[in-house]
Amino acid sequence: MALAEAPSTVAALIDARPWGWRQKLLLALVSLAILLDGFDNQSLGFALPSLMKDWGLPKAALGVALAAAQFGMLIGAVSGGVVGDRFGRKVALVASTTLFGVGTLVICFVHTPMQLAGLRFAAGLGLGAAFPNVAALAAEFTPVRHRSLAVILSIVCVPLGGVVGGMAASAILPTMGWQALFLLAGACTLGLALLLVLALPESVNFLLSKGADATRVMRSLRCMGLGDPVLPATSAPQPHEPSAPLSSIWAPAWRADTLLLWAAFFFSLVSVYAAFNWLPTLLAESGLSVAEAAQGLAAFNMGGVATALLGGALMARFGSRRVMGAMALVAVGAAVALALLAHTNLPLVATFALIALEGGCVNGAQTSLYALASNIYPAATRARGVGLATGIGRLGAISSALLGAMVVGTLGLAGFHWAIAGVMVVVAAAVGLIARHVPPR
C-alpha cells in the first residue's frame, strides 16, 4: 500500500478501533488549552473592578481594552485556521497558546489603558486561533462515531474555564491583587504550551495531506495508541496540492453550507454574549440583588455545560440535525416563556430554572456548531473552515454589545428575552437548512 492510498486507510483504522485511553488523553490535553483560553479570556472581567480602583479610571476608559480582545479573537480565529492547515494543527495550537499566555502574563506590568489594550489584542489573537485547531485535532484524533462528542467536550471547556477563573479570582484578588491573577493565568498557560510541545502528536490527516514520510505518520499513530499498521517506510514522491486555497470553502459544493454555518455562528454568539454582557444588569434592574443577578448568569452558563454534553452524546446517536434543531427551538420556547413572565412574581427558583434551560440550549446549540463545522469540511480545509466560522461568530459577539445596549435602553428584561427568541429562530432555520450534518449512528 502506498501513502497515496493512506488517508482513507488511516481514517478507517481510527474509526475501526475502540476510542482508546491515549486518544482520550490527547483530547483532555487539547481541552486544557480551551479551559485556559476561557480563563485567560475572562480574566480581565474578573480583575476590572480592582484595576479601575487602582488606576482611578471609569469603565469607559477601559472600553478599548475590552473591545481589543474581541477584535484580536476575530483575526486570530480566521488566521489560526489558515496556519493550522498550512503548517500543522500542533504548530498552530502551540503558537496560539504561547501567544495568549505571554499576552496575559505581561499584563502584570502594564500601567496605562493603551498598554493593556495592546496586550489584550495580542492575547486575543492567540485566544481566537486556538479554537479551530483544537476542534480539528479533537475531530482527527477520534473515531467518527465519537467525533461530535469529542469536539463538544473540548469547546465546552470555555465556560468551565470561566468557572475556574472565578474561583481563582475570588481567592486571589482580595489578598494578592489583580496582577497576581494575570500572573497565574499566564504562567499556567505557558506551562501547558510546553506540555503540548512534548506530548501532543501532529494530526495524521495533516501529515498525509502534506506527503509526510511514513515514519512521522507512524509516530503519530503510536502516540494515539493505534500500534503499527502496515504502512511502507518510504514511498515515491507523489503529486499533491501543498495547501487548499482559502477560497476552497467558498467553492460551489460548500458555498451554501458555509453561508448557513456563518449565519448560525453569528446569531448564536449574539445570544451568548448578549447574556454575558447584559443579563446580570437586567436582572438587577428587575429587583434582584447583585448576588442573585450573578447567580442568574451562573445558571445560564452551567445550563450550557450540561446541555452541551448531553447534546454531544445525543448527536453521536441521532445525528446533529435533529439534536441541534431541538436545542435551538427549546431555547426559543424558554426565551418566550421568560419574556411573557418577566413582569410576574415568578418564584426565583422557577426563574433560574427557565434561565438555565434558555442558557443551556443557547450555549448547547452554539457549542455543537464546532462539531458540525468539523463535519462539513474535509481535512484539507477543516481548520480554516472552522476558523472562518468562528471569526464570523466573533462579529456576532461584537454586535451583541450594540444589540444589548439598544434592548437595555428601550425594552428591558422582557425585550431582551424576546430578542433571544428571535435570534434563536434564525439559528434553528440555518441549522435546519445545512446539508452536511453529522449523520445518525
Residues 96, 102: Cα–Cα separation, whole Å: 10
Q: What is the pLDDT of residue 81?
A: 78
Expressed in angstroms, the distance from the first to the final Cα of the chain is: 30
Q: What is the pLDDT of residue 228?
A: 59
Tell whether the model's pLDDT for residue 144 goes beyond 80.
Answer: no
What does pTM read for this prediction? 0.69
Amino acid of residue 104: T
Q: How many CA atoms lie within 13 A of 336 on its CB side?
A: 9
Per-residue pLDDT band for 326 (boundaries 50, 70, 90) equals: very high
Per-residue pLDDT band for 191 (boundaries 50, 70, 90) equals: very high
Q: What is the pLDDT of residue 239?
A: 43
Identify the CA nearest to 159 among candidates 26, 334, 276: 276
Residue with cell 427551538: 329
The verdict on domain 3-223 having CATH code 1.20.1250.20 is: yes
Torsion of CA 346, 349, 351, 352, to 10 degrees: 170
Per-residue pLDDT band for 240 (boundaries 50, 70, 90) equals: very low
Class of domain 247-433: mainly alpha
Least confident of 243-247, 356-360, 412-416: 243-247
Residues 14, 142: Cα–Cα separation, whole Å: 7
The whole-number average pLDDT for the span 160-170 is 74
- Model pLDDT for residues 18-67, shown as the tens digit of each residue: 777 777 888 888 889 888 887 887 777 667 767 877 888 775 676 677 77
How many whole angstroms from its chain centre is CA 256? Answer: 23
Q: What is the pLDDT of residue 422?
A: 94
Per-residue pLDDT band for 235 (boundaries 50, 70, 90) equals: very low
Examine domains 3-223 and 247-433 and report if their fold is the same: yes
Where do the domains of the chain lie? 3-223, 247-433
Q: What is the pLDDT of residue 367?
A: 84
